[in-house]
Amino acid sequence: MNGSGVEEVESSLVLGHAKLVENDLRQEKSRTLGVRAWEIFGFGTQYLWLFSIMFGSAFFSLSGNVEWARFVKAVFALGFAVVYLVFFALKNVVDFGSMGRVSIVLFGVVGSLGTMLVVFPSSGVSRVYIAFVASVLVGISQASLMSLGNRAWSKMRPERVMVHLAGSALVACALYFLLSCIPDVVSTVVVCLLPVVGGVILSTTKKESLRARPLRKLDLNDGCLYLKILAFVAAFSFPMGVVVGSATCGDAASFSYGSFVLVVGALCVASFAFVLALRAAPTGMLKILGSVGVPLIVAGCVFALAFWDEAFLFGGALVVAGFVAADLFMWFLNAELVSRSGCRPLEVLARSCCVEWASFFIGFVFASGFFGDAAEFGIGRFLYALSAIVLVVVSSFVLTQVDLVRIVEAREGVQDKQGIEDACRSMAERFGLSARETEVMVYLANGRTVPYIQDKLTISQSTVKTHVRNIYRKMGVKGKQELLDVIEKEIF
């Protein structure tokens, strides 16, 4: 093969055939929905738990005590932040990757026990102790199960991650409305069992081999990127705390109705994200989710300020919709960061979730009236205005579109020789190729001829041809062009 022929093969690997890539993405998403589709409920159960206890009112409908609901939400948010901080400090000690199925399920049981402790309201000093113990139990359960989920997603192909996350959010929102329609006793029991169900599903989720990495590595210290990401997390979590806190100011009926309206916003965005996951490429989904969350939250804050008495909750629904979009963006991004930065899953997750819950807690306690009547002192309006201003500043001057483009470009990447080699080694592990066969495949993928490979590896031409035949046989291809097509699929 002459020099122009080599360039043509390498160009084919770099640019790809758009139709082939599109078909491969569609097939991967179809497999996600058709094979082991129940795996997407692992994250969905945890998200539903959060909607029922932290963001909504379904769990507290049995007691009807708004004050108790407000207190539990505040303690749980603070407990989550503290637990994630402890997990971050122990990131080099705790290893969830070596955990067995029984241990994972036990973490779910711990979360269910913590949830059961706050079913009925307590009073006096005992309520502080009960809420504190419950927050520690559910915090450990949530942090452990979410870390396991993040670890699994970091090794899945991005197409599966998209469907997992968006499908889970949609299922969680839909089931929340179902819980609101069934008897209070039944819905409470279901919410208490959600952590156990999530633990069982996550314990049986298929562990995939590390996906190919033909993309540029992402350095979180480059330009303090991780600090910018944390600032963005804090900026979109604070208004969510404000909205949820505001919804708890009132009687049981207004609390239930307000929570219902807020989750409608989440359902709309979750439906949009699921359609996006089925139709868009990972890069497109990352771009869209990263760009729609901020405008929705800002619009919700402005709407709430403009129609404070008439249609305040609809502004809150927009904020919740924006939060879900930004939150899904961060979950997808966290899996990418783990895959491409070399950081431990627990480190990435604990850092962002600690900031998220701490920011949520601050917004919640000020908006829910812990420091005085928010409406009487004008705190509510001030908090919404502050949320909009801070989010605009952070998205304009801290984590800007330029930074988002850098992250997305790292996903689009430069398909260089190192990327081709990473893809080949990933497939070699999957198809059971020997070390020498893997070396030969890398040369073939880069357009090298048999004589060239013979010279580079200092082996006979017949040995090279034997390795080539073995590669074709193990990978189920009939020739070099089919091999290149398979490698191209892996890269894209």
Residue 1 · residue 449 · CB < 8 Å: yes
- pLDDT of 386 reads 93
Whole-angstrom distance, CA of residue 107 vs CA of residue 139? 10
Question: Residue 14, Cα to own-chain centre: how many angstroms?
Answer: 29
Whole-angstrom distance, CA of residue 141 vs CA of residue 109? 8
- pLDDT of 20 reads 45
Q: Annotate 229-243 with DSSP letters as a single string.
A: HHHHHHHHHHHHHHH
Residue 57 · residue 69 · CB < 8 Å: yes
- pLDDT of 213 reads 45
- pLDDT of 235 reads 95
Domain with CATH 1.20.1250.20 in the chain: 36-412
Residue 336 · residue 158 · CB < 8 Å: yes
Residue 356 has, within 13 A of its CA and on its CB side, a CA count of 19
Residues 6+ apart with CB under 8 A from 43: 146, 149, 164, 165, 168, 198
The pLDDT tens digits along the chain (492 residues) read 444 444 444 445 444 444 444 455 555 555 555 445 556 677 788 889 988 888 777 777 777 678 888 889 999 999 999 999 999 998 888 776 667 788 889 999 999 999 999 988 777 778 888 989 999 999 999 888 888 877 777 777 777 778 878 888 998 988 888 888 888 888 889 999 999 998 888 888 766 554 444 445 666 666 678 888 899 999 999 999 999 888 887 666 666 777 778 888 899 999 999 988 888 777 777 778 878 999 999 999 998 888 876 667 888 899 999 999 999 988 888 877 777 677 777 888 899 999 999 999 999 998 887 655 555 546 778 889 999 999 999 988 888 767 766 665 554 444 455 567 777 887 888 888 998 998 898 888 877 888 888 888 889 989 999 999 999 988 888 887 778 777 766 665
Whole-angstrom distance, CA of residue 479 vs CA of residue 336? 33
CATH no. of 36-412? 1.20.1250.20
Residue 477: closest CA among 489, 465, 486: 486
Whole-angstrom distance, CA of residue 35 vs CA of residue 40? 11
In the CATH scheme, what architecture does the domain 3-19+416-491 have?
Answer: 3-Layer(aba) Sandwich (3.40)
- Whole-angstrom CA distances from 282 to 95, 200, 319 are 28, 28, 24
Structure tokens, 271: 């439906």
Domain with CATH 3.40.50.2300 in the chain: 3-19+416-491
- pLDDT of 164 reads 79
